[in-house]
Amino acid sequence: MSALFEPYTLRSLTIPNRIWMPPMCQYSAAPDGPEAGVPQDWHFAHYAARAAGGTGLIIVEATAVSPEGRISPYDLGIWNDTQARAFRRTTDFLKNQGTVPAIQLAHAGRKASTERPWKGGAPIGTDEGGWQPLAPSAVAFAEGHPVPAELTVEQIREVVGQFAEAARRALDAGFEVAELHGAHGYLIGEFLSPHSNKRTDVYGGSYENRTRLALEVVDAVREVWPQDKPLFFRISATDWLDEAGWTADETVRFADTLKEHGVDLLDVSTGGNASGVRIPVEPGYQVPFAARVKAETALPVAAVGLITEVAQAEKILANGEADAVLLGRELLRDPSWARRAGRELGAEVHVPDQYHRSV
């Protein structure tokens, strides 16, 4: 059997194949009013197409646990029940196609309140519909970005509660997997890294203190997320800094701790917390970080990062470098990549009845 098309079981959930879609923001929700953060027709069509194309698991894009946790005013949210109910159309369709619906719960931290990428992605002020970003420390992400407000301990506790409430709503919305966004320089990742976390209280300084918020969020979500459903954690395995940043060694150390707290899989990415760093981008450039976690810890991993070719993806799994692959840009280009891979590898993959002529 092809490694890509071998089913994968976590807790009581079996995912039909190892071809997964990572969260990729669409910046297409209403920015304000009663529809703020609510998934629209675009979101349904976008995710439905990849499910019809045979993708085994789809992680819905970074979905904010609070209004100020959005990257942009146009992000999805799950801080109220109206938003949660609106996701049902998508989760029901994905399940009908045999695809597992997952959702990434997120808080943008100091990288919040920005314009959409195709509008330049620059920070926007309160006069343009923006807001004051929040962060572990009053340190701007980059030149030209606002200095965020440093979270108080009371506010940190509120954020932990917001993640738990978002997970509860995600369950009501029909999701089978919850993923916590601890990567790419957003709030949880900002606490992990000494590059962005300059606190001197129990949430800053030592490795144990910098990981405290992440573990509190994991514990709070695990309390409301059913024991038979998996919980993922996305991490940037390195800040790509020579010093004073989060490192691959810390990622390996943290992986075992996450498993002890009930995380079932580490979604391994890199970067995003420091501006202006040089990243050696090439096909599969992040896979070695996932492979190291898999080799040195007991926590399953998913690999991401310019995985585009069928043979490349198959080799990653066959070599034991990861338990699943996440295809981002390639699934934007080809929603039916999984069906194409199935044809190349001689494997069975879901094909909707309406598309039987394509077999």
* Cα–Cα distance list, 243 to 32, 73, 134, 258, 278 (Å): 41, 34, 24, 24, 14
CB 299 within 8 A of CB 260: no
Active site residue 186: yes
- Alpha-helical (H) ranges within the chain are 41-52, 81-86, 88-96, 153-172, 187-192, 207-210, 212-224, 248-260, 287-296, 310-318, 329-333, 337-345
Residue closest to 36 by CA, chosen among 10, 14, 64, 7: 64
Closest CA to 78 of 176, 170, 164, 156: 170
Which of 47, 74, 186, 203 is labelled catalytic?
186
Nearest one of 33, 37, 39 to 86, comparing CA atoms:
39
Name which of 279, 85, 250 is nearest 182 in CA terms: 250
Token pair for residue 196?
């962005």
Active site residues: 186
